[in-house]
């Protein structure tokens, strides 16, 4: 789309503004045999921002994170994290990144304190400084009182918080979070986002997270949408939504096919069918509702008007909602699902 809106289509791009970059990938590719999990990915993540990497299950997000964190070897292209090449200087990259995995990677037999102390030892933080840093982090994630209980007894939210604390302990430049809120209840989810928000304010750290929940991506400074292993579009959430521009009117009708035809014939609007009925994209959707209902020869069960969301952005660029893409991923097992 136009550069004025701040949205960049994938593909060749103009030279950047000279902003510091936390992550840069050029033609990054990972294939397993002849199956491509990530295809020629070009990403530029400015330092100090929260970057949301978004797409349905199996889009290649986790594979990308795996490559950026030096856990998977790219099969093509290159990636720089905090200024270091993931393939040639993995040790330097590891020193500068924190990582919170999709699933819990804590040892239930250890206490929170031991978990963090071990981590500090692995990263070579001197003893005295480590203790201060550990207490700081425990305070940030509000686990000071529980520091001597085994992690086994922690709730899902507490574990996730401890993992974030661990990921930040060695003051990384980039914190990677793979689906940080999956499997958490809404309340904990909100709390995690509050922590991440505070983090951005208090520390100069770039947060790179993946999610397939679009509401969550709204918290990010920038987002990139990925589908089927390739970058679809990236920009600020506002800019991306501005591209879509219009509201979506969703109608549940007795006969969707007839409804689509009628909308096209009588109103000259293009409608699409989805699992929740037919969708019509118009500016000022509420004003269109009476005209739409009048134009339809079939019974209308319900009408919903939604202002543009990131889901619409996804729909706009890929032709399906992220939920549909997710269910496809589970219906067709042949689709590339990143192996770790």
Partner 1 sequence: MTDLRTSALPQDADADEAAEATKAAEATRAAEAADSGARRGRVAADLRAVRVLWQREVIRFARNRLRIAMSVIMPMMFLLVFGTGLNAAVPAEQAAFRDFRAFFFPGVLLMAVQAPAMAAGASIVWDRQAGFLRQLLVAPVSRPPLLTGICLGGATAGLGYAVPVLCLGGLVGVPYRPELLLVLLELALIAFAFTSLGVLVAVCAGRPETFQIVMGLCMMPLLFLSGAVFPASGLPGWLGTVVRVNPLTYAVDALRRTLPGQGVSGLGGRAAGPEWWGWTPPVVAEIGCVAVLAVAALSVATYRFSRGE
Q: Which residues pair with 41 in a beta bridge?
A: 28
CB closer to partner 1 out of 53 and 84? 84
Compute the least distance from the CB of residue 4 to partner 1, in Å.
21
Residues of the shown chain interacting with partner 1 in the complex, contacts defined by CB under 8 A: 15-16, 18-21, 24, 47, 69-73, 80, 82-84, 91, 94-95, 97, 99, 101, 103-107, 109-110, 114, 118-119, 121-124, 150, 166, 173, 340
CA angle 37, 43, 46 (to 5 degrees): 145
CB closer to partner 1 out of 150 and 274? 150
**C-alpha to C-alpha distance for 174 and 103, rounded to whole angstroms:** 19
CB closer to partner 1 out of 72 and 112? 72
CB closer to partner 1 out of 90 and 274? 90
Compute the least distance from the CB of residue 108 to partner 1, in Å.
8
CB closer to partner 1 out of 106 and 214? 106
Compute the least distance from the CB of residue 135 to partner 1, in Å.
20
CB closer to partner 1 out of 122 and 194? 122
CB closer to partner 1 out of 121 and 265? 121
Compute the least distance from the CB of residue 168 to partner 1, in Å.
14
Compute the least distance from the CB of residue 25 to partner 1, in Å.
11
Compute the least distance from the CB of residue 97 to partner 1, in Å.
7
Compute the least distance from the CB of residue 173 to partner 1, in Å.
7
Compute the least distance from the CB of residue 242 to partner 1, in Å.
26
195 neighbors 161 (Cβ within 8 angstroms): yes
Write the secondary structure of the chain as one string of H (helix), E (strand) and C (coil): CCHHHCCEECCCCCCCCCCCEEEEEEEEEEEECCEEEEEEEEEEEECCCEEEEECCCCCCHHHHHHHHCCCCCCCEEEEEECCEECCCCHHHHHHCEEEECCCCCCCCCCEHHHHHHHHHHHCCCCHHHHHHHHHHHHHHCCCCCCCCCEHHHCCHHHHHHHHHHHHHCCCCCEEEEECCCCCCCHHHHHHHHHHHHHHHHHCCCEEEEEECCHHHHCCCCEEEEEECCEEEEEECHHHHHHHHCCEEEEEEECCHHHHHHHHHHHHCCCEEEECCEEEEEECCHHHHHHHHHHHCCCCEEEEEEECCCHHHHHHHHHCCCHHHHHHHHHHCCCCCCCCC
CB closer to partner 1 out of 95 and 203? 95
């Amino acid at each position: 789309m136009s550069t004025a809106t701040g949205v960049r289509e994938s593909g060749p791009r103009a030279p950047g503004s000279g902003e510091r970059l936390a992550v840069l990938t050029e033609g990054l590719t990972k294939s397993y045999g002849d199956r491509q999990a990530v295809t020629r990915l070009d990403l530029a993540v400015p330092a100090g921002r929260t970057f949301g990497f978004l797409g349905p299950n199996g889009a290649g997000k986790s594979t990308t994170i795996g490559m950026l964190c030096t856990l998977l070897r790219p099969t093509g292209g290159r990636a720089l994290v905090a200024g270091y090449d993931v393939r040639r200087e993995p040790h330097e990259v590891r020193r500068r990144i924190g990582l919170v995995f999709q699933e819990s990677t804590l040892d239930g037999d250890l206490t929170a304190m031991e978990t963090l102390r071990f981590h500090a030892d692995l990263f070579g933080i001197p003893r005295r400084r480590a203790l201060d840093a550990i207490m700081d982090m425990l305070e940030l994630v509000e686990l000071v009182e529980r520091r001597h209980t085994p992690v086994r007894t922690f709730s899902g939210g507490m574990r996730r918080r401890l993992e974030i604390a661990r990921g930040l302990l060695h003051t990384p430049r980039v914190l990677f979070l793979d689906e940080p809120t999956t499997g958490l209840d809404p309340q904990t989810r909100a709390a995690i986002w509050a922590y991440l928000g505070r983090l951005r304010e208090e520390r100069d750290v770039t947060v790179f997270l993946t999610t397939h929940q679009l509401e969550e991506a709204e918290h990010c400074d920038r987002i990139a949408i990925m589908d089927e292993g390739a970058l679809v579009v990236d920009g600020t959430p506002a800019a991306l939504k501005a591209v879509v521009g219009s509201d979506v009117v969703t109608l549940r009708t007795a006969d969707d096919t007839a409804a689509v035809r009628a909308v096209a014939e009588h109103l000259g609007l293009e409608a699409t069918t989805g699992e929740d009925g037919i969708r019509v994209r118009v500016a000022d959707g509420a004003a269109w509702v009476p005209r739409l209902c009048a134009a339809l020869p079939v019974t209308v069960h319900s009408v919903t008007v939604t202002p543009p969301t990131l889901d619409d952005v996804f729909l706009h660029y890929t032709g399906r909602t992220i939920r549909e893409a997710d269910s496809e991923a589970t219906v067709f097992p042949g689709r590339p699902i990143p192996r770790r």
